[in-house]
Chain A
């Protein structure tokens, strides 16, 4: 892993610590009385706060996961660093696109 990727992975990890803690708290809160689509959407629809929170979470998770997948592919697969990097980049972009779509789906 290059220094640049190392710094990005650790920085996104540190950024996600509070985001994951809030996410776990929301999971517990949302499942308290059985989770319904109406409950979720009433909380998120039109909310700039939740849009920012989930948008940041998706961006950080996409970068963090892509670098992690690159490391795994480099160490555990016969792929060269370049090919592992390309696959990981595609995975990261896919995650970011799907994540952004999911955020828009629950916020708009």
Chain B
């Protein structure tokens, strides 16, 4: 796992320990901590074994300190699919019954959004450690209820904020916080896809169950499904929370009876004037997915793990010549032609956040990308199930970004400027 290697490497570089201090949720991922639990296995149950649940099952099977002991889904085909992946696990179709099982240390919740809060709260009450998919919950009230339960429980609670465990993001953030791209002046996040987001439905009465993402009773639409991660990244970069938001949402193309928007534009405003321009559209995929932080001195594309410096904007021939002279290389520069070719974005030299192989998450998958941090955070959770060590900041970050998504939806629904409501502020937030 490259993140473990990254953390291991931190031990050898100056400032490594200091860096680890700025990312406290990684403390449990150090090689020393892993040694402590050698040989033990956390007994894990998965509640909600649809596509995302099965994705977690695949990752869990790779984790040496985890064992899948139970599965639960009230949609039989999904349960059967999971059972074929884990033949030794006990199957349930009612999560209450599963929670009565004393031989479970931790549960993974990968159900539709409106089930997150009920199951998380019940699981914590039942004395289980909980790892829940993002977003935190379907409503502001539910988020607050989970946060309050978290403050009072001694069990471990994680939300799947995988970018916090993604090496590209961790290093990229460290570069941003050290001033590499100068003062942060703006942020642009988008997630474009070209698909209807629908799953095939064997019979009409299953429509709202299987296509839960499309209906307001079970889904927060593009904001909770996609924006959640990206807003968390922006707050991570800004080190604060937006104080107001406004936006517009529409169903532009997929007019198929769905209730959630297929096109959202929300602007989030920080007190210093910096804004997040958030866009998501699922009828055109040209722009893909990106979390772009704009600084006075440079720009960082966190999803690609590439940054560009403003001072690099020379014409490509001259830029190549300068690089060559710096590298003591003598070669022809491809600059002669009948007329000037104007600057394009391509003329900035790309610099890589991670020197080695870049694995880019195009954002096209509905389920998740390989090596995007999901495996790491899951592993950290399983480790916590054994050690009882809580993850620092994960719940707070999940709360912050989820609440921003829900407020973004509110702004779009009500067509007005929303100021962050006092009753949903928590001490962790800085404005």
Partners in one complex: no
> A residues engaging B (CB < 8 A)?
none
> B residues engaging A (CB < 8 A)?
none
